[in-house]
Structure 1
């Protein structure tokens, strides 16, 4: 279809009824039809493009369906042991004791003969179970599953595997109960306490290595966190680490002494981290679950799981904590070393924008004229706030979005007649945060930015009394300054049909690095511009910073992207 007054073809499709019902339940309102511009006036080309656009939209709807599907309640092995101990072992003994009471009421009954009879029955069933015996065990297993609300049944997949395990466990429990009953009849000791039976069936035993007071995992992490804060580590980073360590503590046992943590604990923890979805703690179907239970439950859905990078980060957080434990003589070795998954760095997470993409991007409505309330639609509005300037600053400085967002007006200044960005962590209006110490740096402002009017924009902020260059941007929920602009940019790319895997606001930094290399910028100067530390031996000699101001200024002027914005004042 075409919109009234538009020459470009559009894709439009009504939201499927089942997806609509899910979205209405979530948001309380009916969703609009799916609609995207095909960005062409040629009908034949539009018919070609609509196939891919429609396919992507249907993937979105399928994801909504799968996220709202009921997740099967798959029991863990330990949960099954707890249940059959309570329902089968205890129930079997209760019923058999009532029968025994009735039999003993008869005169001349020999208790030892009854016990021997019970033992023979146990041996017969174990060696040559009849169809009736097998059917009885399956009947008991089904009864336990119903009581617990488990999604297990004969068949293939995780649910079928758990069913087979449950039937085998019920059989083992009945045999154990028969032996216990025979021992009791013989006058022997038979510990039928719930916890003792659980342990005899192979369930989790309470740890024999309980931590001393104030030396459990989370208490020691409190000490670790205080020390790292004194060293200057970011509070929001430690908040993230605390969540990971809390999951790890629940996984291995919150009261276990840290010296009992083994490599098998790390291996199993990593495996569980790899089997849950992104932001698993926020999913309704997994809320409140421990990591191990969430991993088993999610495996039954066959849903997408988290990336290796995310898993590596959390394993590294555990490793850093255990390294601190070793340094402070709580453990003898860091058992978490060597568990990171190797990732091919050639497969870039954030690909750079191509020259064609840059030209298309900076010819889109946001940068040439858009609708007053819809940046992705053409119009007469000239936006000149952070939405316009932040991508341009990222493209021509190579700075991270969070670094640009935190700039104050006095960070835009002249040194030796060169206008510069001064990226630092000394804020007058906000508490600035930089990624590393080497992120503190001076980057000359590209002539294209000056030509486009960036300095005029900064002067306007000064005249209005703002101390910040982008005063209307606030940090995200976790204190991340790039959170809101990154969300906006992802939506904008999608709305102008330029969304590609990995392509985002951070991709400008990669584009800048590639353009510098194409222009022949010396590697040391590029490191200085990007705020990367030089870990080479020569980097530690002398006092002159890598890439002095003159070198940096010359390097910046070499960045042109095919003369993308030369003499183009907007």
Structure 2
């Protein structure tokens, strides 16, 4: 019989006379860690000492999970999804980029070679390949699937080895869910690419122009991508300038997204591009060294330049910043701009008529690692912070309830600040927050936005929020459309704009000046609390609106609210509890 209460210490077991602790590897890390669970020795045979060491070794395992996720995030969302074997996390544009890059690398295979085969024989082989692609033999390997596997492996997709037939030979195969719409789209694009490949190769062999237009794989229509350009076409490409690129890409981006998003992400970048190279600079002549100069200018700029240096050129603003010793723009911000510049050249390359055959900004995103490692508030820090917030509860309740909700829901500031009174709902007798861009009638609310599709969720209220008097506060707001009517939309339309600035000033004033502690620290703390309560990773992701995986994708459904409610009631912040309003205490 065990000498340790396994109910209180989940994962503890004994091997021989030594105690160990184990924890299952979350599904999103399974293909990176390459094992289903991690086990660590507690280094003792004494049950009492094992209990003492238990939380420290469990924290070591969680630290390993955190490090793996940090490594994935540092690689960017596309590489992170590929390494985790999660093709379903990629957008259609991401998949188009993957297949487009693969297609361009195959250009050398389209160059005709007559060392061993004459043109007629080569054309015959191409016809056979085309037949296999259009109607694969059910008893043989599908050439499209085979090409897709090779593409994914070359791109860095997580893989496992598989035995080939009855032989001892093993081959790597990508770990990918072939039932998803993203995989179906990938297969469709690879089939298009292979057929375009064959059509272009045929034209190169027989001098014809039968290859049809394809915006990804043959944007120049019937002319083979590597056939010689005519003098008039070359001249037209040579006349296309940086000003043309800025104008045309801006139109494309606004049509695909909106003007506000395009201005926010590209306006400063376009200024830097035009100021560095000149508006009349030929796009076809832009080299990697020119993009390095654009990055150097961005690196030298101060933050918030549009507000603090109106009327200045970017070069003048950079000089003033250096002269006054002001801080420079964050490396993560510059990295984001360079990633956007790379997207511009990817677009120009796909168009085929800008003279861009290789992205000159590729690989210049630089380090996007944050300069500050954020952390969660400790229980003692939460007590001190809310002791300072408590006096504001009656006079300016927004300043108390927005942080309180962040602690117990893990919601982002923007998600909380845009709440409406109708977003506090009741499901199966459980009080919840409906974090959604849609109203009760199912129509989209114009001034509400969420960061990702996974952010759309219903979160049950923690008992501590209810006990602290939140529902009474909601009742008092019944005459207001917005739950926090004193918050006004900022310049980008987000209702958290001014609140975030106020909270930053407030927390410094009450003794929390560390840059590692910000409003987002509440979200970090919520995730930590989920781990300490041993809430499953998928359920924690559903509660916090992190990228959903597997069954968590169903948690937006009201029928799953009781499951989430049971999980959220497990959360404990090691002694911290919201202060209860006097009227609530008297009623109790």
TM-score where L is the length of structure 2: 0.53
Determine if contact 2:404/2:578 at 8 Å carries over to the other structure: no
Alignment pair present for 1:401 and 2:429: no
Q: Tell me the equivalent position of 2:456.
A: 440
* Distance (Å, rounded) in 2 between the aligned partners of 1:325 and 1:542: 38
Q: Tell me the equivalent position of 2:433.
A: 421
* CA separation of 1:404 and 1:344: change in aligned 2, threshold 3 A: same
Q: Tell me the equivalent position of 1:306.
A: 329
Q: Tell me the equivalent position of 1:449.
A: 465
Structure 1: state its 5+ residue gaps: 1-207, 370-374, 376-380
Q: Tell me the equivalent position of 1:483.
A: 497
Return the offset for 1:440.
0.9
Q: Tell me the equivalent position of 2:278.
A: 253
Determine if contact 2:405/2:416 at 8 Å carries over to the other structure: yes
Alignment pair present for 1:517 and 2:541: no
Flag the structure with more relative contact order, 1 or 2, with Cα contacts below 8 A and sequence separation at least 6: 1
Q: Tell me the equivalent position of 1:278.
A: 303
* Distance (Å, rounded) in 1 between the aligned partners of 2:579 and 2:398: 21
Equivalent of 1:321 in 341, 344, 349: 344
2:491 aligns to what SS in structure 1? coil
Determine if contact 2:539/2:552 at 8 Å carries over to the other structure: no
Alignment pair present for 1:358 and 2:377: no
* Distance (Å, rounded) in 1 between the aligned partners of 2:477 and 2:281: 56
* CA separation of 1:481 and 1:356: change in aligned 2, threshold 3 A: same
Alignment coverage as a number of residue pairs:
340
* Distance (Å, rounded) in 2 between the aligned partners of 1:542 and 1:449: 24
* CA separation of 1:525 and 1:348: change in aligned 2, threshold 3 A: farther
1:363 aligns to what SS in structure 2? helix
2:249 aligns to what SS in structure 1? helix
* Distance (Å, rounded) in 1 between the aligned partners of 2:471 and 2:526: 21
Return the offset for 1:290.
3.4
Equivalent of 2:248 in 220, 230, 235: 220
2:395 aligns to what SS in structure 1? coil
* Distance (Å, rounded) in 2 between the aligned partners of 1:467 and 1:218: 41
Return the offset for 1:360.
0.8
1:549 aligns to what SS in structure 2? helix
Return the offset for 1:263.
1.2
Alignment pair present for 1:291 and 2:314: yes
Matches within 5 A, 1:88-99: none
Q: Tell me the equivalent position of 1:472.
A: 486
Q: Tell me the equivalent position of 1:558.
A: 570
Equivalent of 2:554 in 537, 540, 544: 544
Determine if contact 1:224/1:324 at 8 Å carries over to the other structure: no
Return the offset for 1:293.
4.8
Q: Tell me the equivalent position of 1:71.
A: none
Determine if contact 1:400/1:509 at 8 Å carries over to the other structure: yes
2:477 aligns to what SS in structure 1? helix
Return the offset for 1:565.
2.2
1:312 aligns to what SS in structure 2? helix
Determine if contact 1:451/1:567 at 8 Å carries over to the other structure: no
1:273 aligns to what SS in structure 2? helix
Q: What RMSD in Å do the two structures reach over aligned CA positions?
A: 3.1
2:380 aligns to what SS in structure 1? helix
Determine if contact 2:457/2:555 at 8 Å carries over to the other structure: no
* CA separation of 1:300 and 1:266: change in aligned 2, threshold 3 A: same
* CA separation of 1:323 and 1:563: change in aligned 2, threshold 3 A: same
Determine if contact 1:444/1:552 at 8 Å carries over to the other structure: yes
Matches within 5 A, 1:146-157: none
* Distance (Å, rounded) in 1 between the aligned partners of 2:429 and 2:279: 60
Determine if contact 1:217/1:249 at 8 Å carries over to the other structure: no
* CA separation of 1:239 and 1:281: change in aligned 2, threshold 3 A: closer
Matches within 5 A, 1:26-175: none
* Distance (Å, rounded) in 1 between the aligned partners of 2:547 and 2:433: 18
Determine if contact 2:238/2:284 at 8 Å carries over to the other structure: no
Determine if contact 2:300/2:329 at 8 Å carries over to the other structure: yes
* CA separation of 1:508 and 1:541: change in aligned 2, threshold 3 A: closer
* CA separation of 1:567 and 1:263: change in aligned 2, threshold 3 A: closer
